[in-house]
Amino acid sequence: MKLSIKNAFQGAVLILTSNSIAAFASTEQDMQSHCENISLQVLGSGGPEINDGLASASFLLWIDGKARVMVDAGGGSSLNFEKARADFNDLKAILLTHLHVDHSAALPVYIKAGYFTGRSTALPVFGPASGGDFPATEDFIYALFNDRPPGVYAYLSDNIRQQASTDFLIEPQSVEPSGDIWRHQLTADIALSAINVVHGPVPALAWRVSYKGCSVSFSGDMNGRSGNLQKLAENTDLLVANNAIAQQAGRIAKNLHMTPQTIGKIASVAKVRKLALSHFMLRSRDKKSESVDIIKQNYEGEIILTDDLGIITFQGTP
């Protein structure tokens, strides 16, 4: 299934003069030109539930026809990685928004499967620093794969420590922006940015991936109170926002996740060009239409409802 980005003001009432039509067409053409080689594929549009028919959170950014950056690695995403016909050798990095199970559980699956792909280049894994009950990303990786002392999968220790049997190494790195935007040049053309967001007591990051002037931003799980996402996602071409709760959610859920109203306000303030909703749960899945209507009270751009294996493109219908 392919979802194409169409109208920057879908659902809004427009009064267009000939000049405004020309300006709109120019904006749309500009987006197509600087994002023409990028698409985003959804490997998992669900959350932690096992009765929703969805894989847990994971996204794959395709650049020039190759799967270059994975954001989160939730359960079930590895099967969809295969269905997407992605090549593990093409990955330049895995970005983790936080270390909850539904965003990271498939990481060992990818690492073990990497042995059978012939990968030989290092794989950076970026994620949050430690906090509360959660380890730093480096310690998380070592707890999984270390053999000194033994971790959960110590038999894969040759992926974190050079040995005779090593095929490729994981390079874990914790990111601690402390309210400022953290930046990293991943390759000559791919730049990463991150900022801390509030997901209750859980250390969490929002991510932005940029390629030659085109950017895709990811909220991860967050409640929206820090004000940081709108800084990171300012003028981004696409914001993927987690829609895990409905507007009428309880206090505990709202401490962890954004309401639809919050999503709409952030997207509007950040001047996001397109908005995609994901990380659906049973409590939000059946209220998608209601959530979209609430978001539209503040945000006038196109709103895309994601599904597993759906592809978002930045040009005309493929």
Contact 58, 291 (CB under 8 A): no
Neighbouring residues of 26: CB distance < 8 A, sequence distance ≥ 6: none
CATH class of residue range 36-313: alpha beta
The whole-chain average pLDDT of the chain stands at: 91
Question: 261-265: which pairs have CB atoms within 8 A and are 24 or more residues apart?
Answer: 261/294, 261/295, 261/297, 261/298, 262/223, 262/224, 263/224, 263/291, 263/295, 263/299, 264/294, 264/295, 264/296, 264/297, 264/298, 264/299, 265/224, 265/298, 265/299
Burial track 48-61 (b if 16+ CB lie within 10 A, e otherwise): beeeeebbbbbbbb
Letter for the amino acid at 294?
I
Please work out, in degrees rounded to the nearest 5, the angle formed at the alpha carbon of residue 306 by the alpha carbons of 98 and 207.
30
Please give the Cα distance from 275 to 152 (Å, whole number).
38
Provide, rounded to the nearest whole percent, the portion of the chain with pLDDT above 90: 86
Beta bridge partners of 183: 193
With bands split at pLDDT 50, 70 and 90, how would you rate the model's confidence at 315?
A: low
**Domain ranges across the chain:** 36-313
Tell me what pLDDT residue 142 has.
98
Q: Evaluate if residue 140 carries a pLDDT over 90.
A: yes
Contact 50, 75 (CB under 8 A): no
Token pair belonging to 172 = 């874990």
Condensed to tens digits (0 to 9), the pLDDT of residues 161-207 reads 999 999 999 999 999 988 899 999 999 999 999 999 999 999 999 99
Tell me what pLDDT residue 7 has.
39
Tell me what pLDDT residue 32 has.
56
Token pair belonging to 109 = 């699956």
Q: Evaluate if residue 22 carries a pLDDT over 60.
A: no
- Kindly state the greatest CA–CA separation across the chain: 70
Token pair belonging to 106 = 């498939």
Q: Evaluate if residue 224 carries a pLDDT over 50.
A: yes
Tell me what pLDDT residue 261 has.
99
Mean pLDDT for 272-295 is 97
Letter for the amino acid at 150?
P
Q: What's the sign of the alpha-carbon dihedral 155, 161, 167, 170?
A: positive
Q: Does residue 316 or residue 93 have the better pLDDT?
A: 93
Tell me what pLDDT residue 177 has.
87
> Which pTM value belongs to this model?
0.89
Please give the Cα distance from 122 to 94 (Å, whole number).
11
Tell me what pLDDT residue 31 has.
53
Q: Smallest Cα–Cα separation from 183: which of 141, 160, 215?
A: 215
Q: Evaluate if residue 316 carries a pLDDT over 90.
A: no
Q: Evaluate if residue 11 carries a pLDDT over 80.
A: no
Mean pLDDT for 227-240 is 98
Tell me what pLDDT residue 249 has.
96
Contact 126, 96 (CB under 8 A): yes
Letter for the amino acid at 122?
A
Tell me what pLDDT residue 62 has.
99
Q: What's the sign of the alpha-carbon dihedral 80, 82, 86, 87?
A: positive
Count the neighbouring beta carbons within 10 Å of the beta carbon of residue 1: 9
Token pair belonging to 285 = 């899945």
